[in-house]
Amino acid sequence: AWDSTFCSVNPKFVAIITESAGGGAFLVLPLDKVGRIDRDVPLVSGHKAAVLDIAWCPHNDNVIASGSEDCSVKIWEIPDGGITQTLIQSSVDLVAHQRCVGQVAWHPSALNVLLSAGGDMKIFIWNV
């Protein structure tokens, strides 16, 4: 089992994994969103299996990475106002793991450097 927080927050957005048990989606809301969330809220839904981890880029508040049981890492660009329709096309697809990707983490000071760790016991450092 992976030790995921199931959510990630930055100065603009909060992202929450909503379908970790087989759907492969997560929700992104602007921080100023208040009140109840609609049932048909648009999702970030491009993975073919459960999303296991998400992480906002520390250098760009509109970029988030996701790792999934489908063995891929995806980079997503979120518009300033948030998403208004379900987002299924990622900006970048990173495929190298042979098993699920359970952890993604951005380098805190090196621009566009992402780490992914998978169930194949491999760690990849990506320059995205």
- Return the pLDDT at 5: 74
81-109 pLDDT, tens per residue? 999 999 999 999 999 999 999 999 999 99
**Which tokens belong to 68?**
């999934």
104-124 pLDDT, tens per residue? 999 999 999 999 999 999 999
**Which tokens belong to 61?**
């508040």
- Return the pLDDT at 20: 55
35-89 pLDDT, tens per residue? 999 888 999 999 999 999 999 999 999 999 999 999 999 999 999 999 999 999 9
CA distances 42 to 55, 64, 75, 85, 111, Å, are 19, 16, 17, 5, 29
pTM of the predicted structure, to 2 decimals: 0.94
How many CB atoms are closer than 10 A to CB 43? Answer: 19
3-33 pLDDT, tens per residue? 777 899 999 999 999 875 556 899 999 999 9
- Return the pLDDT at 21: 55
Which helix (DSSP H) or strand (DSSP E) does residue 68 occupy?
strand 63-68
Name all domains of the chain by residue range, CATH numbers in brackets.
Answer: 7-127 (2.130.10.10)
